[in-house]
Amino acid sequence: MSSIASEPILDRAADVPPPPRSFIAQVMGQAFIRWSARIGAIWIALVAFCAAFAPFIANSEPFILKSRGTLSFPLFRGLHPVDIVLPVATIVGTIVLARRKMQFFASLCLVLWACALTAAASCWPSTADYLKQMQSLFGQSAAIVLLVCFWTGLAAVIVLAPIFISRRSTLITGLCLLPLLIWLMIYPVRPPKTVVYEKYRDLARAGQVDYALYAILPYSPSDRLRDMGDSAFLPPSATHPMGTEYAGADVLSRMIYACRIALAIGLISTGIARLIGVLVGGLMGYFAGTLDILGMRLIEIFEAIPTLFLLITFVAFYGRNLYAMMVIIGITGWTSTARFIRAEFLKLRKQDFVQAAIAAGLPLRSVLFRHMLPNGVTPVLVTTSFGIAAAILYESTLSFLGLGLIDEPSWGQMLNQARGVGASFVWWIAIYPGMAIFLTVLAYNLIGEALRDAIDPHLTKA
């Protein structure tokens, strides 16, 4: 009967099935064989590392301080929940990725919960602040009602969910969403802002420090070095490897913290764009016909919006807001994705395996996003890496024009500050952030190009 199932001769050890490699994993593998893509990835990883661990790399406050016999940990006291969540997410995420054994959603769930729990733990000392801030945000009674409802509700959900939710997918989605909710409630908590950095240096100068362990770069980005007299516009030296800016803050330290905005703006805005693009493009391609025509007109309308001018107009009317910037870049940048996905889906919907999936009675959600999307998503990887680069450039442009954030450093904003006293040119504030922008954009483009080449033969083969 089964003469065609001629088995290759296997040795006994190979009885265990090898870990399967998905199509996307294959494409990734092929793309990152290239040295250019690898260099790009290494640079991005470096930026990501700096972003995640910034407060531990560059900080004016010492890790450990022993002064007049008392031991304290000033650096940890001043950390924002974000500062703790980012490294935890990075470490847990890397471990999960490296082990490669877990399912995607299970690992996502794990990372999110690790973040939420560490964030909650990090807020514990400042519970009093938390209550105060919630009050100032929502008003006293509303804050109390909100808090009581939220935290008891949360506890109830966590306890009851496994009992009532029988479908595995619902449970996992819930488990992923809960930490995000917790995070949202924790977000208003801020550490005490009145840090006077020079007090440690004063202590040191007064000889009252028995022992202190500083970060590699003992300067915070907002550390204006007021105590050091004439410290503005110092050229690069051993103490300040990239010099100082107009207020005397260390440029390298600001560069490191600016990685955060560069990464966040790129990832979040393209994330929004991809989400809209995949949804709209997928529906257009799958249903074709009238919906397709309407969608195409919508795409054309959005393509006609000049993103940069919209951003400038928005900032002019509503003030500087990083999140609004991300949203604007996101909702104007989805059109290319939608076009790609539409084209892919138009092709895919006629393919036999999609027909077979529909014929098996699978619901639309599964047909669209489980069966069609993974087969058509690879071009989106390409647009994503180019999109991230574009988003970083938008933010830099805006900041360079002086319309970006003020309280947090970004590379574009530093470029703006390279205009020294009396419009002179301060080369070290221009060169380094300029190089960083250039390298990051280049890195994303290198990765995008490698991905594009990697998916080409696959598309014709499959």
Q: Which amino acid is at 398?
A: L
Q: Which amino acid is at 177?
A: L
Cα atoms found within 13 Å of the Cα of residue 3, Cβ hemisphere only: 1
In the complex with another protein, the residue whose CB is nearer, 34 or 371, is: 371
Taking the C-alpha atoms of residue 250 and residue 231, their distance in angstroms, rounded to an integer, is: 10
Taking the C-alpha atoms of residue 457 and residue 453, their distance in angstroms, rounded to an integer, is: 8
Which residues are registered as beta bridge partners of 213?
64
Distances in Å between the Cα of 402 and the Cα atoms of 76, 313, 440 are: 32, 13, 21
Give the closest residue to 273 by CA, choosing from 245, 248, 305. Answer: 305
Contacting another protein (CB under 8 A), which of 9, 22, 69, 230? 22
In the complex with another protein, the residue whose CB is nearer, 22 or 194, is: 22
7 binds another protein (CB under 8 A): yes
Taking the C-alpha atoms of residue 458 and residue 462, their distance in angstroms, rounded to an integer, is: 6
Q: Which of residues 166-185 bind another protein (CB under 8 A)?
A: 168
Which residue has tokens 């950095």? 197
Distance in Å, CB of 286 to another protein, minimum: 10
In the complex with another protein, the residue whose CB is nearer, 181 or 358, is: 358
Q: Of the listed pieces 118-126, 140-148, 357-365, 401-409, which binds another protein according to CB under 8 A?
A: 357-365
Distance in Å, CB of 101 to another protein, minimum: 14
Q: Which of residues 78-137 bind another protein (CB under 8 A)?
A: none
436 binds another protein (CB under 8 A): no
Distance in Å, CB of 157 to another protein, minimum: 24
Taking the C-alpha atoms of residue 428 and residue 281, their distance in angstroms, rounded to an integer, is: 45
Taking the C-alpha atoms of residue 408 and residue 398, their distance in angstroms, rounded to an integer, is: 14
Contacting another protein (CB under 8 A), which of 11, 12, 17, 99? 17
Q: Of the listed pieces 55-63, 104-112, 212-220, 346-354, which binds another protein according to CB under 8 A?
A: 346-354
Q: Which of residues 235-294 bind another protein (CB under 8 A)?
A: 288-289
> DSSP readout, 5-58?
-PPPP--GGGGSPPPP--HHHHHHHHHTTSHHHHHHHHHHHHHHHHHHHHHHHB
153 binds another protein (CB under 8 A): no
5 binds another protein (CB under 8 A): yes
Contacting another protein (CB under 8 A), which of 134, 218, 371, 454? 371
Q: Of the listed pieces 18-26, 58-66, 90-98, 316-324, which binds another protein according to CB under 8 A?
A: 18-26
Q: Judge whether 455 and 27 are in contact, CB under 8 Å.
A: yes
Distance in Å, CB of 18 to another protein, minimum: 8
381 binds another protein (CB under 8 A): no
393 binds another protein (CB under 8 A): no
The number of residues that bind another protein (CB under 8 A) is: 35
224 binds another protein (CB under 8 A): no
In the complex with another protein, the residue whose CB is nearer, 13 or 359, is: 359
In degrees and rounded to multiples of 5, residue 334 shows phi and psi of -90, -5
Rg of the chain's alpha carbons, rounded to an integer? Answer: 26
Give the total residue count for the chain.
Answer: 462
Give the closest residue to 221 by CA, choosing from 366, 55, 451. Answer: 55
Contacting another protein (CB under 8 A), which of 133, 173, 239, 366? 366
Distance in Å, CB of 258 to another protein, minimum: 38
13 binds another protein (CB under 8 A): no
Contacting another protein (CB under 8 A), which of 133, 351, 397, 445? 351
Residue 189 neighbours by CB distance under 10 Å: 21
> DSSP readout, 87-110?
HHHHHHHHHHHHH--S-HHHHHHH
451 binds another protein (CB under 8 A): no
349 binds another protein (CB under 8 A): yes
Contacting another protein (CB under 8 A), which of 196, 360, 406, 435? 360
Q: Of the listed pieces 17-25, 242-250, 318-326, 405-413, which binds another protein according to CB under 8 A?
A: 17-25
Taking the C-alpha atoms of residue 239 and residue 241, their distance in angstroms, rounded to an integer, is: 6
20 binds another protein (CB under 8 A): yes
357 binds another protein (CB under 8 A): yes
Contacting another protein (CB under 8 A), which of 29, 162, 363, 457? 363
Which residue has tokens 């794990």? 110
- The SS3 call for residue 377 is coil
Distance in Å, CB of 386 to another protein, minimum: 24
Q: Judge whether 371 and 362 are in contact, CB under 8 Å.
A: yes
Interaction site with another protein (CB under 8 A): 1-5, 7, 15, 17, 20, 22-24, 168, 288-289, 349-353, 355-363, 366, 370-371, 374-375, 462
